[in-house]
């Protein structure tokens, strides 16, 4: 095999975000751009002899082109083998599993998650470490540092490898193993859940709808729900994968998964609805005319975990990102297990899971997962719910409402203001912080401020400190308002306001979250002046 060393120049104008490098496809199509980033990754890890790399992506436009480049660069940079999903496809949780299952030296995942796909849309690339999880700060810092001084990259000059056929091929001592992207993952799920009970449920008059949003989970859902669990084929919606994700926005929330929402809200026929995002790590859970907030979903799964075979011995602990509601904290108290509060982003859960301190974790942003992999996992969350429903023989709504009766309800909503000019967004955050000393003890309607601060986190395992992780206004009754600037937006700044009112006695509460949170919404504006400063009316997205 001939290895070429190509001259290049530093290229990144800013540090990659928490989810790797995400840019327009046209940016990645610039000469040497993808190659520079891949070389920066390879230069930041120690590639020892006989090690393999896991490789796959969400199947969006540019996925197959990038896969070929990365295979050739892996060969040139000393990997003995690349394990790649057939046609270059692996969902993010499946990639995490493959890394762990085959002990590879991490993996490269090609995805821009829920962002739209196509020639004028987004592409993304990230490196996951050998534990299967997103690279920690010290590795992403190293990748960024390498990208600033890069002068050459290495690439083998063999012709494109046929990755559409399962099997292994040898190229001068370098191997490419093409695997079925679904089988290992589906086997893992089958080993964790009570498939016989779920099968009985799905073959009864219980009706499931799963929306793949034209993205990577289609084939996974088909294998799990139809082939292995016997649900009828028509339980699948939008499960044909397309390079453009059907021109849609594969983010499973009430706004973007509108087809599924319509199916669950327009008739009484469908009992359970679920959707996943572009790369399969997010999930949304719906009952008939009933939305389960991701924060409640985490709490319900934690409270009922012992009904699921994989967790029948109980949980070692749970974790949630700071803006996620405190519903799971209440379950942890009852179960007498620790509950960790981490900054936003899945990578913070990795150390806790590797150290055996937590079994389940989740984020309010439709991410739920456990220590079976090191990414959040959309289909796993759906299977948790199906397993719990099969065991409890109750509807989604009844399960959540009885949960609220037992634990109280953390009424919750997130309001996003997208594309706010950065200087205005920053001035809003500065304005809130300027009130840190005056806010405590201040009264807003029936709420008293207890404390106001900027969240920082010390990792209990490696001692690393993350500061500036979002501003918290905590009220004496357990209610909260959190303000944060998004780290994943691509245009201007996205200001996120997380609103949470704790209602101990559910008999008193208004069921609609926006109604129940009306006072909190006003307080948030009073403290932040966001609408006033940005001249905006309603939020761009409410979840
Ligand atoms: C968003 C979510 C966060 C999630 C991340 C990656 O980040 O809020 O919970 O981990 O996407 O999926 P943000 O844009 O808020 O920085
Ligand atoms: Zn995703």
Q: How far apart are CA 73 and CA 81, in angstroms?
A: 11
**Residue 321 alpha carbon, nearest atom of ligand 1:** 9
pLDDT for 82-108, tens place per residue?
Answer: 999 999 999 999 999 999 999 999 999
The predicted pLDDT at position 260 comes to: 97
Q: Which residues are bridge partners to 238 per DSSP?
A: none
Residues 365 and 505 in one domain: no
The verdict on the CB of residue 19 being under 6 Å from ligand 1 is: yes
The predicted pLDDT at position 524 comes to: 96
Query: Whose structure tokens read 């987004």?
Result: 122
pLDDT band with cut points at 50, 70 and 90 for residue 347: confident
Separation of CA 18 and ligand 1 centre (Å)? 8
Separation of CA 486 and ligand 1 centre (Å)? 7
**Residue 365 alpha carbon, nearest atom of ligand 1:** 9
- Of 351, 385, 405, which one is at a domain's C-terminal end? 405
Instruction: Give the CA distances from residue 19 to residues 54, 96, 128, 470, in Å, rounded to whole numbers and listed in that order.
Output: 17, 14, 10, 18
Q: 516 with 508: CB under 8 angstroms?
A: no
The verdict on the CB of residue 134 being under 6 Å from ligand 1 is: no
Catalytic annotation, pick one of 19, 96, 113, 297 = 113
Nearest C-alpha to atom 10 of ligand 1 is from which residue? 345
The verdict on the CB of residue 371 being under 6 Å from ligand 1 is: no
Nearest C-alpha to atom 11 of ligand 1 is from which residue? 488
CATH of the domain at 382: 3.40.120.10
The verdict on the CB of residue 344 being under 6 Å from ligand 1 is: yes
Q: 102 with 83: CB under 8 angstroms?
A: yes
- Of 405, 425, 456, which one is at a domain's C-terminal end? 405
Test site for ligand 1: of 344, 366, 541, most ligand atoms within 8 A of the Cβ? 344
Residues 18 and 104 in one domain: yes
Q: Evaluate if residue 184 carries a pLDDT over 80.
A: yes
Q: How far apart are CA 89 and CA 108, in angstroms?
A: 12
Residues 348 and 439 in one domain: no
The structure tokens listed for 68 are 């070929």
pLDDT band with cut points at 50, 70 and 90 for residue 409: very high
The structure tokens listed for 101 are 């299952």
pLDDT band with cut points at 50, 70 and 90 for residue 186: very high
As a whole number, mean pLDDT of residues 412-431 equals 94
Residues 337 and 244 in one domain: yes
The predicted pLDDT at position 512 comes to: 87
Q: Evaluate if residue 453 carries a pLDDT over 70.
A: yes
Query: Whose structure tokens read 């969902």?
Result: 91
Residues 203 and 346 in one domain: yes
The predicted pLDDT at position 376 comes to: 97
pLDDT band with cut points at 50, 70 and 90 for residue 189: very high
The predicted pLDDT at position 510 comes to: 63
The verdict on the CB of residue 488 being under 6 Å from ligand 1 is: yes
Q: Evaluate if residue 299 carries a pLDDT over 80.
A: yes
pLDDT band with cut points at 50, 70 and 90 for residue 511: confident
- Of 115, 146, 181, which one is at a domain's C-terminal end? 181
Residues 414 and 397 in one domain: no
Residues 286 and 337 in one domain: yes
The predicted pLDDT at position 509 comes to: 62
170 phi and psi, to 5 degrees? -105, 140
Q: Evaluate if residue 251 carries a pLDDT over 90.
A: yes
Q: Evaluate if residue 38 carries a pLDDT over 70.
A: yes
For 160, residues 6+ apart whose C-beta sits below 8 A from its C-beta are 68
Residue 113 catalytic?
Answer: yes
The verdict on the CB of residue 119 being under 6 Å from ligand 1 is: no
- Tell me how many domains the chain contains: 3
Q: Which domain holds residue 255?
A: 185-405
CATH of the domain at 473: 3.30.310.50
The predicted pLDDT at position 490 comes to: 67
Alpha-helical (H) ranges within 336-471 are: 347-354, 378-392, 396-407, 422-433
Separation of CA 478 and ligand 2 centre (Å)? 30
Query: Whose structure tokens read 């409890």?
Result: 392
Q: Evaluate if residue 371 carries a pLDDT over 80.
A: yes
Q: How far apart are CA 374 and CA 369, in angstroms?
A: 8
pLDDT for 56-86, tens place per residue?
Answer: 999 999 999 999 999 999 999 999 999 999 9
As a whole number, mean pLDDT of residues 181-199 equals 98
Test site for ligand 1: of 323, 486, 492, 497, most ligand atoms within 8 A of the Cβ? 486
The verdict on the CB of residue 363 being under 6 Å from ligand 1 is: yes
Separation of CA 279 and ligand 1 centre (Å)? 14
Residues 22 and 113 in one domain: yes
Task: Please provide the average confidence, as pLDDT, over all residues in the chain.
Answer: 95
Query: Whose structure tokens read 């309010």?
Result: 364
Nearest C-alpha to atom 5 of ligand 1 is from which residue? 345
Burial of 3 (0-12, 13-18, 19+ CB in 10 A): middle
Q: pTM of the full predicted structure?
A: 0.95
pLDDT for 258-283, tens place per residue?
Answer: 999 999 999 999 999 999 999 999 99
Separation of CA 365 and ligand 1 centre (Å)? 7
**Residue 363 alpha carbon, nearest atom of ligand 1:** 9
**Residue 323 alpha carbon, nearest atom of ligand 1:** 9
Residues 174 and 310 in one domain: no
Residues 80 and 155 in one domain: yes
Pairing outcome for strands 480-485 and 493-503 = antiparallel
């Amino acid at each position: 095999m001939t290895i070429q060393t190509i001259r290049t120049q530093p290229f990144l104008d800013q540090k990659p975000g928490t989810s790797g490098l995400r840019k327009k496809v046209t940016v990645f199509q610039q000469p040497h751009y993808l190659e520079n980033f891949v070389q920066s990754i390879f230069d930041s890890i120690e590639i020892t002899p006989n090690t393999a790399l896991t490789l796959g992506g969400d199947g969006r436009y540019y996925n197959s082109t990038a896969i070929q480049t990365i295979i050739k660069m892996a060969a040139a940079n000393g990997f003995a083998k690349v394990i790649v999903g057939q046609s270059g496809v692996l969902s993010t949780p499946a990639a995490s599993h493959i890394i762990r299952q085959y002990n590879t030296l991490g993996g490269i995942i090609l995805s821009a998650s829920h962002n739209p796909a196509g020639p004028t849309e987004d592409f993304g690339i990230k490196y996951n470490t050998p534990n299967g999880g997103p690279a920690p700060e010290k590795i992403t810092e190293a990748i960024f540092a390498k990208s600033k001084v890069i002068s050459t990259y290495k690439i083998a000059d063999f012709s494109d490898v046929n990755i559409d056929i399962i099997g292994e091929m040898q190229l001068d001592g370098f191997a490419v193993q093409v695997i079925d992207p679904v089988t290992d993952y589906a086997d893992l799920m089958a080993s964790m859940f009570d498939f016989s009970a779920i099968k009985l449920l799905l073959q009864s008059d219980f009706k499931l709808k799963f929306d793949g949003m034209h993205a990577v989970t289609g084939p996974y859902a088909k294998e799990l729900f139809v082939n292995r669990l016997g649900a009828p084929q028509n339980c699948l919606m939008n499960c044909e994968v397309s390079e453009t994700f059907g021109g849609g926005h594969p983010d499973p929330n009430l706004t973007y998964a509108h087809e599924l929402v319509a199916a669950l809200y327009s008739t009484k026929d469908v009992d359970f609805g679920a959707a996943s995002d572009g790369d399969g790590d997010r999930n949304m859970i719906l009952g008939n005319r009933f939305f389960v907030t991701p924060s409640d979903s985490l709490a319900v799964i934690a409270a009922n975990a012992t009904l699921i075979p994989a967790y029948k011995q109980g949980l070692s602990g749970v974790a949630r990102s700071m803006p996620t509601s405190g519903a799971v904290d209440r379950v942890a108290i009852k179960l007498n297990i620790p509950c960790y509060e981490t900054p936003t982003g899945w990578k913070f859960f990795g150390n806790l899971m590797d150290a055996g301190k937590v079994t389940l974790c989740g984020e309010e942003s439709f991410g739920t997962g456990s220590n079976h992999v090191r990414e959040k996992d959309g289909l796993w969350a759906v299977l948790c719910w199906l397993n719990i429903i099969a065991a409890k023989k109750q509807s989604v709504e009844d399960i959540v409402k009885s949960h609220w009766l037992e634990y109280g309800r953390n009424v919750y909503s997130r309001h996003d203001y997208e594309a706010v000019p950065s200087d205005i967004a920053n001035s809003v955050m500065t304005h809130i912080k300027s009130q840190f000393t005056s806010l405590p003890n201040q009264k807003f309607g029936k709420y008293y401020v207890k404390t106001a601060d900027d969240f920082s986190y010390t990792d209990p395992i490696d001692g690393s400190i993350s500061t500036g992780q979002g501003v918290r206004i905590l009220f004496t009754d357990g209610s909260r308002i959190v303000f944060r600037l998004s780290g994943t937006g691509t245009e201007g700044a996205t200001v996120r306001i997380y609103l949470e009112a704790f209602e101990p006695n559910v008999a008193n509460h208004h069921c609609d979250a926006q109604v129940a949170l009306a006072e909190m919404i006003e307080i948030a504006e009073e403290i932040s002046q966001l609408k006033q400063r940005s001249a905006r009316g309603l939020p761009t997205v409410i979840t």
